[in-house]
Structure 1
């Protein structure tokens, strides 16, 4: 379970860890480095299994105190960090010097190669199907995953549009060492978002997302609602700027959607994997189902490729 803003909190992360998967707290969901340290402690109260922290670096006018968040991660004894966003060189150097393993999330092979040179331990490669920022190349996982695996010497984790055992097996067949899911974990019982959002994900099809900010060269995939439709229409105008939609896409409004359930009050992140999500299980039920289905595919369906064709 990759890092998700307003979602990666202790109860969900601990449930993912207890189920045998790897969950990530989202550092910037917490209002301060001190609160992040407390949230790390809350996970440890619930599980003794491994978990990590996501640190997303955003090029903002008033950046948060990244170095202090990073120090909170290190001093809390967390040994796995998922970085994403802007160039993470400074963070990689400090984290590595303190024995932390780093998974860097990116959307292009060229960026993955750059991150490998910086010293990250693993790449999470996000295909065009993903929620959040898929980059500007529009390359789906079927091509992007093996392209990354071919060019990198460090492990690759597949991300974007994966929601079940079929996706896990496909990812590994394409050269990945595993799969990273976000949207699928939104629709679980332990995820502390409003039931309206979960039910919308269950009801939605693979077509029910919108790509916003395309004209601004900062493409983002979100769930389709009145707000995302309005943002797309406004930004179709040749003279349109970010300021014209800022009031619609504010992070505080997105948080209200997740917590209060008014689906037309702001944006919510969702990938094309919505079309593969049909229920709201517990995390343990979900992870067990994924592994059971994956093993069945490998044990029953794929062996057909190895059978000799018998002529009549």
Structure 2
């Protein structure tokens, strides 16, 4: 078993987190991941109202007695969701772990920690991770350039971002973006992370509420089949390559503004993709890790397979790499 600071912090067996994905993070998936020893996460804003979130949390609690978390993404908009009400539901439901993301979480972190809740904040840069640590986050999830959804604007891949984060932080962190198997988990641990967070990989599991057509497209897709849209607006988003994402890129490339693409990138259209299985209904998020996904297993078996494979990789290094003494000192051959 791979025990890290993160597994000890969250009371889980394996350093594997299911990403809090919009429209995907529901009770069945979160419970399956948690029952297997990972950390499942329900997505708060997938639920239309705070009362709906309370019901979803109760469904998850009926499906698992293991720790699970709730993601709450703090969006900036003219008519924001009632974040305080969602937060209060989380507290009253007895949830012990919350993942925050988006805009400044200071007030929310302070309030959650007053109720003994462990807070993980999702970041896309070392600077943001350091701020999360300063304002009281217990752990960080750091997103590399490879991730689905919003990778930030710095374009730093995990191979650099993970060790840079390890050098800077004192609190535990998990790495996100590009992870789909045991090799990735072993690599993340070697680079200094305390675990991994996976979104796209968990989309392709039996318990995922994503339509089977979309799961199959991910299995058939490669690492070349994603697009970065809205770069000109400094709100970059990694999505599947389709006619809609191509149209968004073309419009913005010709000097268009957000108002010109607003209807194309509407979240309700992405929700329809996942629910109805037509990949051309809108833009939908997927990460570069789809190039490493070749099956649609149960979420529990996936967690156990990745943990076991990571242990095998780590042990196997002793046979693949020999560290030998040389006349000049220690060397590697």
| TM-score interval (norm. to shorter) | over 0.9
**Alpha-carbon deviation of 1:301?**
2.6
Which runs of 5 or more structure 2 residues have no equivalent in the other structure? Answer: 1-17, 328-333
Aligned match of 1:105: 122
Matched, 1:280 2:296: yes
Give the corresponding residue for 1:57: 74
Q: For residues 214 and 274 of structure 1, what CA distance do their matches in structure 2 show?
A: 21
C-alpha deviation, 1:308, in angstroms: 2.4
CA distance in 2, matches of 1:181, 1:40: 21
Q: CA deviation at 1:307?
A: 3.7
SS in 1 for 2:122: strand
Deviation, structure 1 residue 310: 9.3
Deviation (angstroms), 1:2: 1.4
Question: 1:289: how far off?
Answer: 1.4
| Distance in 2 (alpha carbons) for counterparts of 1:96 and 1:262 | 42
> Paired residue for 1:190?
207
- 2:163 counterpart residue number: 146
Unmatched tracts of structure 1, length 5 or more:
none
Q: 1:114 aligns with which of 103, 126, 131?
A: 131
Aligned position for 1:297: 313
In the alignment, is residue 260 of structure 1 matched against residue 276 of structure 2? yes
Aligned-pair distance for 1:302? 4.4
CA distance in 1, matches of 2:146, 2:119: 23
After TM superposition, give the deviation of residue 305 of structure 1 in Å: 3.1
Question: Could you tell me which residue of structure 2 aligns to residue 79 of structure 1?
Answer: 96
Task: From 244, 254, 257, give the equivalent of 1:241.
Answer: 257
Picking from 29, 38, 47, the partner of 1:30 is: 47
Equivalences, count: 310
CA deviation string 1:122-143 (max 9, x = no partner)? 0100000000110000000000
Measure, in 2, the Cα distance between the counterparts of 1:220 and 1:33: 27
Distance in 1, Cα, partners of 2:325 & 2:147:
38
- Tell me the TM-score normalised to structure 1 length: 0.97
Partner residue in 2 for 1:132: 149
**267-276 or 293-302, which deviates more:** 293-302
Map 1:162-173 → 2, pairs under 5 A: 162-173=179-190
How many angstroms does 1:309 deviate by? 7.1
SS in 1 for 2:140: strand
Match of residue 250 from structure 1: 266
Query: In 1, Cα distance between the equivalents of 2:21 and 2:241?
Result: 18
Partner of 1:166, secondary structure, is: helix
Alpha-carbon distance between aligned partners in 1 of 2:326 and 2:114, rounded to the nearest angstrom: 59
Instruction: Give the superposition deviation at 1:115.
Output: 0.9
Q: Does 1:201 align with 2:212?
A: no
Q: Distance in 2 between matches of 1:143 and 1:137?
A: 12
Aligned position for 1:225: 242
1:201 deviation in Å?
0.4
Matches within 5 A, 1:13-28: 13-28=30-45
Structure 2 length-normalised TM: 0.91
Structure 1 residue 67, shift from structure 2 partner: 0.2
What's the C-alpha RMSD, in Å, of the aligned pairs? 1.3
